């Protein structure tokens, strides 16, 4: 204090340059702080959406439906029959895009799927087929499906089938291949294809038999427990995987067959196996909030490696997109930032439901995988309460005294505060065929939210 009183006085100016300029003109020392009011989108759109008389009730309804939804694993089935996915049609992560605009890892995964399905004999042949439009490409989200990373689904792949016992909906996700050189990270070498063939021939049928013998597995209950066991359900799924295994183990062994030990070792050896059950569980709940006029809740955040897109409860199936960002994080082996592709995958559905980075406070050890530190993990979850509409009492975060996970991203709150949703994510190699290069933290581009706000404003009755 005494030091402060002995120091010459100065002026800090914030906001319009006008004030600082006047002071400078009077020879008064002044520091202009580089600051502008936070906020995303046009003020007129914010005003229109904020004053939409339907909004409060619509959001209350959206939150209620999302929180009430359940998620049970009811079957394991091939994509061809389950999704009516015909030969020559693939699904992919994120908003729609064509081969021309596809990034390396998505191209790599599509090439691999074409080889797997026997549509091409060599990677070169596959590339020509895809470039010529010889395969129909549609987003997973359009088919009650979510896909991690490239998210490519082709007819012969097996899928988890989840049902919401409350709302009655169904959602699908492929089986997780593990980390490293795998199709969803854009690798398509012989090992990758061999593993996928084994998954279709052995793993899928074994899981199908076990799930059918066991009966529905309550996935929402396992997710609730994960949060008490250091997982956040996006980049940490270690205990979720072990709890799923525990649930199915007896029936897997009863089902017998010479490959049981192999199946069990595969699942037990892949800490991310359960991600592919968290994702469809999240989609089941969020799909309940689709098509509620006036609701400003985000129902999907998804990336195709080129575009980041969001869908909102009040604006139907429209995608609001912006350029996908490159995550900042930790790299495997000798890989570095130059090797990383922009953000990719439907897995941000976990953040959209309040898991992943939104529940990072429940999983402080995740900072050793995605970067950052423990205070960041706590601060991230706390910040997400500022842009969400509800808290999920089923997903209690122990260290926050079991406060419910921040759930239901509010486009209006994001626009007003300028706080963007945080996402924990894997990083794919930029070059097709590389596979995983790391894991890190990323945010959506602000453009998505500005566009969604505009879409919501245009949908206000009496607007424009």
Q: Which residues bind a second copy (CB under 8 A)?
A: 228-231, 238-239, 242-243, 245-246, 249-250, 253-254, 260-261, 264-265, 268, 364-365, 373-375, 398-402
Please, what is the minimum distance in Å from the beta carbon of residue 227 to a second copy? 9
Say how far apart CA 194 and CA 189 lie, in whole Å.
Answer: 9
For a second copy, the closer of residues 31 and 254 by Cβ is: 254
Instruction: Name beta bridge partners: 388.
Output: 409
For a second copy, the closer of residues 87 and 246 by Cβ is: 246
For a second copy, the closer of residues 345 and 364 by Cβ is: 364
Please, what is the minimum distance in Å from the beta carbon of residue 230 to a second copy? 4
Residue 307 near residue 96, CB atoms below 8 Å? no
Please, what is the minimum distance in Å from the beta carbon of residue 399 to a second copy? 5
For a second copy, the closer of residues 187 and 242 by Cβ is: 242
> Angle 60-48-423 (CA atoms, 0-180°, nearest 5)?
60
Say how far apart CA 196 and CA 266 lie, in whole Å.
Answer: 12
For a second copy, the closer of residues 50 and 399 by Cβ is: 399
Please, what is the minimum distance in Å from the beta carbon of residue 376 to a second copy? 11
Residue 288 near residue 65, CB atoms below 8 Å? yes
For a second copy, the closer of residues 228 and 325 by Cβ is: 228
33 φ/ψ angles, rounded to the nearest 5 degrees: -80, 130
Residue 428 near residue 187, CB atoms below 8 Å? no
Please, what is the minimum distance in Å from the beta carbon of residue 201 to a second copy? 19
Say how far apart CA 297 and CA 313 lie, in whole Å.
Answer: 5
With residue 3 as reference, give the H or E element that holds it: helix 2-6
Structure tokens at 274: 């359960």
Residue 119 near residue 129, CB atoms below 8 Å? yes
Please, what is the minimum distance in Å from the beta carbon of residue 250 to a second copy? 5
CB atoms within 10 A of CB 36: 10
């Amino acid at each position: 204090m005494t030091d402060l009183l002995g120091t010459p006085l100065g002026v800090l100016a914030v906001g319009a340059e006008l004030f600082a300029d006047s002071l400078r003109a009077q020879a008064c020392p002044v520091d202009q702080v580089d600051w502008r009011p936070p906020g995303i989108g046009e003020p007129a759109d914010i005003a229109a959406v904020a004053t939409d008389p339907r909004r409060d009730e619509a959001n209350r309804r959206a939150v209620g439906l999302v929180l009430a939804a359940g998620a049970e694993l009811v079957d394991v089935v091939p994509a061809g029959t389950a999704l009516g996915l015909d030969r020559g049609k693939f699904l992919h992560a994120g908003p729609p895009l064509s081969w021309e605009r596809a990034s390396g890892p998505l191209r790599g995964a599509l090439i691999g799927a074409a080889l797997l399905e026997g549509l091409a004999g060599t990677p070169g042949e596959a590339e020509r087929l895809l470039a010529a439009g010889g395969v129909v490409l549609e987003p997973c989200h359009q088919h009650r499906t979510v896909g991690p990373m490239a998210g490519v689904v082709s007819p012969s792949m097996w899928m988890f089938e989840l049902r919401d016992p409350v709302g009655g909906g169904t959602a699908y996700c492929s089986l997780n291949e593990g980390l490293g050189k795998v199709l969803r990270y854009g690798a398509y070498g012989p090992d990758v294809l061999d593993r996928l063939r084994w998954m279709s021939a052995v793993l899928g049928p074994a899981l199908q038999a076990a799930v059918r013998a066991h009966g529905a597995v309550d996935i929402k209950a396992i997710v609730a427990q994960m949060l008490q066991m250091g997982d956040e359900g996006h980049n940490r799924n270690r205990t979720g995987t072990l709890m799923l295994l525990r649930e199915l183990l007896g029936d897997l062994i009863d089902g017998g067959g010479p490959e049981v030990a192999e199946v069990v070792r595969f699942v037990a050896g892949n800490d991310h196996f359960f991600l592919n059950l968290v994702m469809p569980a999240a989609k089941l709940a969020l799909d309940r909030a689709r098509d509620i006029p006036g609701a400003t809740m985000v129902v999907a955040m998804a990336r195709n490696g080129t575009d980041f897109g969001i869908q909102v409860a009040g604006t139907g199936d429209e995608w609001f997109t912006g350029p996908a960002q490159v995550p900042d994080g930790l790299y495997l082996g000798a890989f570095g930032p130059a090797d990383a592709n922009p953000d990719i995958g439907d897995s941000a559905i976990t953040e959209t439901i309040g898991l992943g980075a939104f529940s990072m406070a429940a999983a402080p050890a995740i900072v050793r995988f995605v970067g950052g530190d423990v205070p960041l993990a706590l601060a991230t979850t706390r910040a997400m309460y500022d842009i969400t509409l509800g808290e999920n009492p089923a997903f209690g975060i122990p260290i926050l005294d079991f406060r419910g996970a921040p759930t239901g991203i509010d486009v209006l709150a994001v626009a007003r505060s300028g706080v963007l949703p945080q996402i924990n994510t894997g990083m794919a190699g930029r070059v097709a065929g590389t596979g995983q290069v790391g894991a890190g933290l990323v945010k959506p581009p602000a453009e998505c939210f500005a566009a969604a706000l505009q879409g919501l404003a245009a949908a206000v009755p009496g607007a424009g």
